[in-house]
Structures are given as structure tokens and as C-alpha cells.
Structure 1
Amino acid sequence: QPAHPPQPSQPPPAYAPHHPHEQRFERRRIHINEYQRGADATAVGGLLLHVPNFLGSLLVVGLVSLLFGTLGLLLVLAWLASGALVFHRPTERALARYVLKLRPPTPMELARLDEAWREVITRAGIEEHTYELWVEDSDELNAVAAAGHIVGVTRFALEQLPSAQLAAVLAHELGHHVGGHSWSSLLGYWYALPGRIAWRVTQLLAYVIFRVSSAFSCLGGLGVLAFFGFAAFMTVSALYGLPLLLPVIPYLMAAVSRRAELHADRQAAALNFAPMLAEVLWRMHMTQEQTKAIAAAAGKPLPKESPLARLLSSHPDHHTRLHHLTPYLQPHPQPPI
């Protein structure tokens, strides 16, 4: 009896094989571009916005280091040097696996990913092993650029998008890496973490102490408020008023994030993926509209987004992104013969 042929480990992709954006990319030689990774104005602006958070964290780490005596200075220096882990490959892989919930692609997934990714890096002039490809087990159309070398894409995007559209999504994420958006945002978040933790602990202590003291006396609650008010005043004075910027920073960071998305879109468009990226954006927009329509048909109230909430959005709206892609979608006039 003949042996059964080996079965694939997963079902075949559901994208349309005759879709105009389903292409077979040819293997071509990569002409290496000197500009492999950098920091554009968006990345630099994001780092500058993290300066107040960094100073607050430095103050917290400095105060904690006092508990260790002569070893305290080593603690501060170790914390300052820890930012280099953003570019440490094993640390990045741990971040991808345990924080971002990504996994290495299967051989079938890698074959499809590698074909699209090879086309992207060939056009961009990027060395083949500069970045690593990962997959997220998600039924949403999404992708991510993280740390210094991680490019992740959802299983849905991998299985449902035609090859040229998948390449456009990967080119967008490459734009984040080449512009320095991914490593700068992670670096800013890391150095702001001690300050964030200290702020959360302070809020919790203030709430507990205020509730306990107010249960005994109104004057006790006022005394607690006065103490924390004095501590806040001294902190603001010691840091030259920079903590006063903290309430505004989330809005500025969101604006920088939206600019970074537009920069990454332009990076993909400059590699001649504008039509494919526009179709992906339209598909995402229609999916959101269908979700709203289903919720409305089920009688579920749709949340109304306030102007302040829109200012905190990390991504531009669909129409803004398409507007910025328009110049790349126009046919270029042919030179006279």
C-alpha cells in the first residue's frame, strides 16, 4: 500500500491567488545602503519629550542608591548603561516572546515572509540579517516594529494579504526601524519606568494615608495633603519646573507617534508600495466600519470619542494617511522622447 503524502502542518493561505497584488518576487542582489538605521526628527523629538521622565527616574534611582552606600554609584551607572539592552539580540528576543507575545515563524510562514521581506530589503538596500521576522497569533490585521531588530506581523496578515500588500506592511515597519522610531520609543519608556513606578507607589501611599488620617481627624487629612504638596513643590523646584510638563507630555508623545506613522508610510511609498499600502489601509478602515455597524445592529452603544481622546491617538485617522500617500499614487509624467 503506497504511503500517504505528507500533510501540511497548517491550512493553505486564504488570500486570492489571482489578486493583482499577488506577485512572485524575483531573487535579486541587494545593493547595500549605508543608511541601515538612524534617528530622524520624529525619533529625536520623542527622546527629548522623555527628558522630564528621565530626570524623574534618575532622581528616584539616585534616592534608592543612597540605601546601598558606596555601591550606590554603581547602581546608578548600571541603570544608565542598561539602555544598551535595546540593541542586545537575546534581550530583544525575550521581549518579543514574553512581552509582545510573538513567536518565530513556521517553515511555511517563513517561506512566504522571506519572499516579501527579501523584496523590501532589496529595494531599501538593507542587509538581509539586520532585522528578525516574528509572527503574532492574532486574527487582526497588524504588524509591529520593536526594539532594534524585531519586525512582527500577525498570522492574519500573513495568511490573508496578497504578497505585495504583505510586502507593503513590512516596508512600513522597516520605515519605523530605519527612522529610529522603535528603539527611541523603547529607550524612552525604559528610562521613564522607575519614575512611573515611583509615581504609582506615591499615589497609592497618599490615598491610603489620606483615608486613614481622615478617618480620625479632618486636620490629619489636611496635614497629609500639605505634606505631599510641599514634597511636590520641592520636586518641581529641584528639577527647574520640568515636572510641570508631565500632564502635557502624553499629548505631545501621541502627536510624535502620529508623525512617525506618516514617516513610515512615506518610507513604504518611496519603495513603490504606495498602492498596496493604500489598499491595506482601506481594508483596515472597512473592517473598523463593519465592526461599528455590527455593534449598532446589536443595539450596543457606540463610544463617542472626545477631542482630547483623539489627541491621545497614536495613529492618524484613515483619511489623513491616505491624503499623505496621494502624491505617491499619482501617475508620473513620462519624459519626452
Structure 2
Amino acid sequence: MCIRARYPHAPAPPPYPQAAAPSYPEAAVPPPPGSPLHPHHISTDRGRVHVAGQQRRTDAAAFGNLLLHLPNFLCSLVVVTLVSLLLGDFGILLILAWLASGALVFHRPTESALARHLLRLRYPTPQERATLEPVWREVTARAGVDGRTYELWVEDSDSLNAVAAAGHIVGVTRFAMNNLPNGELAAVMAHELGHHVGGHAWSGLLGYWYALPGRIAWRLLRAVTGFLFQVSRAFSCIGVAFFGVCVGGLALATITSLYGLPLLVLGMPYALAAVGRRSELRADRHAAALGFAPMLAAVLDKLHQQEQLRTAALTAAGQGAPVPETAASRLLSSHPDYHTRLHHLQQYLQPTR
């Protein structure tokens, strides 16, 4: 789960007037991000911290993610069962080992390997830790969460992004750490904490892990089918027709024997993307409820500007108009668009009376 959208969206007119930029009458330029004069600078000098009794929960988005991964899990179980038949009496051990492997999501050494090799994260240096830990303590103190439960990581990237993964990983990019005011950095980290306390991070990784055997089998099947199709073309139309009848019959037999389960799998990417968008809005709400709504809105605006600049750069390089966004790409987007996220923050941005 990350704060940045994976699929850039074309800019659209906002449904409400944009907030005016803060003025700085005593200086010609805004104070630097680390300055206490910056409007989004927060104090991290906190004394006693109250830790809530409930540290984690499984909210509707996490539960929906697990439920939607059930067809993928069943397909993977079929694949693992078929492979286990090759092992004879030891096949049951393979199935049990695969079912138990989901516990690795919360295994700290496995998480560290995941952070390093898959997410390309690293441990922060002492100087970076001195920057991150006070902000993290403030975020977790407001949430009533024991911050020592989680591990802070850094990604060597010049983009504005952050990630929550597995059971304990919270990562931020070097750009976010060095260029955001500490209040905006806190908003980013509070968003990622929202993914953890809501169960989004572990449920997403667990669903992905148990769907992996089915994904691998599907890719192998596509590769073999593509190869056989190329072979059938050598026998002209008759070979292609015979190939189509064989593949169609096999597909129909599979769908019938599995009670239509493969048809559900075809629609899973769209349903999972919808749940992903909902989890992002819930994480935004978590950060806003902790008092970081103005800072989070500023971060979203910076992300939106980065996407616009990236689109403009790609357009200039290609010397043409960008490819318009399709309805399918919007449905497959794992993050809501900028205006949707900002609209859901409005209730937290209204001035108190």
C-alpha cells in the first residue's frame, strides 16, 4: 500500500474552489521545509503517551480484500494439489506447508528480506533516523499506537512516495524525508499507519501470496497455449480450427468442473482495485482524524503536480498528445484520483466554529 497512485489520471476541474496559498509577509519566499516558521511544521516534543488497548483491527476494506482473494486462493489450492500428486504420499506435506506459509507475512526476518529485495528499501542512517523517529513518535502518539511495533525504512528515490507492507514495514522515500515539512511527512506516515491499523497491508500481501501459485500456473498456461497456437498456424486454417476446438473444450470442461470459479477470477482485478481505492480513502481519513488533514491535502497537491509535470514531459518527448485515460484503466486503478481524495478530506478541512 502506498500513498502515490500507480496510474496517473488526467486533470479535471475541481468540484470546489481551491484553497488560497499561504502568504508570507515577512519574506519573499516561503520558509524552508525544516523551518519552525513553515505553516506545516509541527512540534514533536511530547511527554507522556497514552497507548490504546486495540492496536490493530480488520476493517471493511481489509475484510473485503481477503474475501475477494478467495477465488484466487481456491485456484491456487487446486494448482498446489495437482503438483502434490506428483509427490505421492508426501504430497499432503506440500499442501500443509503452503497453507502454513502465510504466517511468514508477520515473520520479521522474512519481512526484512521482502523490504530489501522486493520493495528496494534500506535501514535509515543515524542522521535519517534522527529525522524520522520524532515525527513517527508524534504520529503514533496521536493514534495511541506503540510505534516500536513497526520498523522504519527508507527508499533511495527522488519521488514523493511511501509504503506500508506486511505486518510491520513503514517506508518513505528519501525525497519525502528531506523535502517535506515535518507536518507533511507526519501526514504521509499517518496515512501508512492507517493501512497497518486497518489491516490493509497484511491482508493485501496475504492475498497476493496465496494467489501466487495460480498466477504462475496461468502464465505458464498462456505461454504453452501461445506456443501451440503458433504451431497450429503452420497447418493453415484447419490446424487453427482444431486448436480452437481443443482449447475451447478444455476451457469449458475446466469452468464446468470448478463450478464457474475461473469466470470469477477474470473479474477479480476490477473488484480488488475498487477495494484498494476504498482502503486509500480510509487511510487518508485515518491521517486526517489525527489532525493532519491540511498537511495531507498539501502532499496530495504536490503529488498531483508531479503527475502533471510527468505527463507534460512525456508529451513533449513524444511530440504528441498523451493517450487518453480509458474507463478500464480507471477501474483498474488502485488509487482514487486527486480530486476524489481531496473531496473526501473536505470535512476535516472545514474551519471549526
TM value normalised by structure 2 = 0.87
CA contact (8 A) 1:132 1:151 kept: yes
Counterpart Cα distance in 2 of 1:200 and 1:217: 26
> How many residue pairs end up in the alignment?
320
Indicate the larger mover: 17-26 or 41-50.
Answer: 17-26
Q: Does 1:309 align with 2:329?
A: yes
1:158 Cα shift?
0.1
Indicate the larger mover: 324-333 or 81-90.
Answer: 324-333
Counterpart Cα distance in 2 of 1:231 and 1:154: 47
Counterpart Cα distance in 2 of 1:32 and 1:238: 52
Any gaps of 5 or more consecutive residues in structure 2?
A: 1-31
Candidates 345, 348, 351, aligned match of 1:325: 345
Counterpart Cα distance in 2 of 1:320 and 1:111: 35
Candidates 61, 64, 76, aligned match of 1:42: 61
Indicate the larger mover: 245-254 or 14-23.
Answer: 14-23
1:291 Cα shift?
2.9
Q: Does 1:256 align with 2:306?
A: no
CA gap 1:293/1:227 in 2 versus in 1, 3 angstroms? closer
The CA deviation string for residues 238-276 of structure 1, in whole angstroms up to 9 with x for no partner, is 221121122221111111110000000000011111111
Counterpart Cα distance in 2 of 1:295 and 1:75: 48
In the alignment, residue 62 of structure 1 is paired with which amino acid? T
1:174-253 correspondence runs (5 A): 174-216=193-235, 218-253=237-272
Q: Does 1:156 align with 2:175?
A: yes
Counterpart Cα distance in 2 of 1:80 and 1:258: 28
- Which residue is 1:166 aligned to? 185
Q: Does 1:67 align with 2:86?
A: yes
SS in 1 for 2:147: coil
- Which residue is 2:295 aligned to? 276
In the alignment, residue 223 of structure 2 is paired with which amino acid? L
- Which residue is 2:47 aligned to? 28
CA gap 1:29/1:190 in 2 versus in 1, 3 angstroms? same
1:129 Cα shift?
1.4
Q: Does 1:132 align with 2:151?
A: yes
CA contact (8 A) 1:52 1:246 kept: yes
Candidates 23, 29, 33, aligned match of 1:15: 33
1:37 Cα shift?
1.6
Counterpart Cα distance in 1 of 2:230 and 2:46: 68
Indicate the larger mover: 53-62 or 288-297.
Answer: 288-297
The CA deviation string for residues 268-327 of structure 1, in whole angstroms up to 9 with x for no partner, is 011111111111111111222233344445534312111111111111111111110011
SS in 1 for 2:133: helix
Structure scoring higher RCO (CA < 8 A, sep ≥ 6) equals 2
The CA deviation string for residues 168-191 of structure 1, in whole angstroms up to 9 with x for no partner, is 100000000011111111111111
In the alignment, residue 224 of structure 1 is paired with which amino acid? F
Q: RMSD value over aligned CA atoms?
A: 1.5
TM value normalised by structure 1 = 0.91
Counterpart Cα distance in 1 of 2:242 and 2:351: 70
Counterpart Cα distance in 2 of 1:230 and 1:44: 36
Query: Taking every aligned residue pair, what percent have the same amino acid on both sides?
Result: 61
In the alignment, residue 109 of structure 2 is paired with which amino acid? P
The CA deviation string for residues 136-161 of structure 1, in whole angstroms up to 9 with x for no partner, is 00000000000111000000000000
The CA deviation string for residues 3-47 of structure 1, in whole angstroms up to 9 with x for no partner, is xxxxxxxxxxx7352312123311322211122122110111111
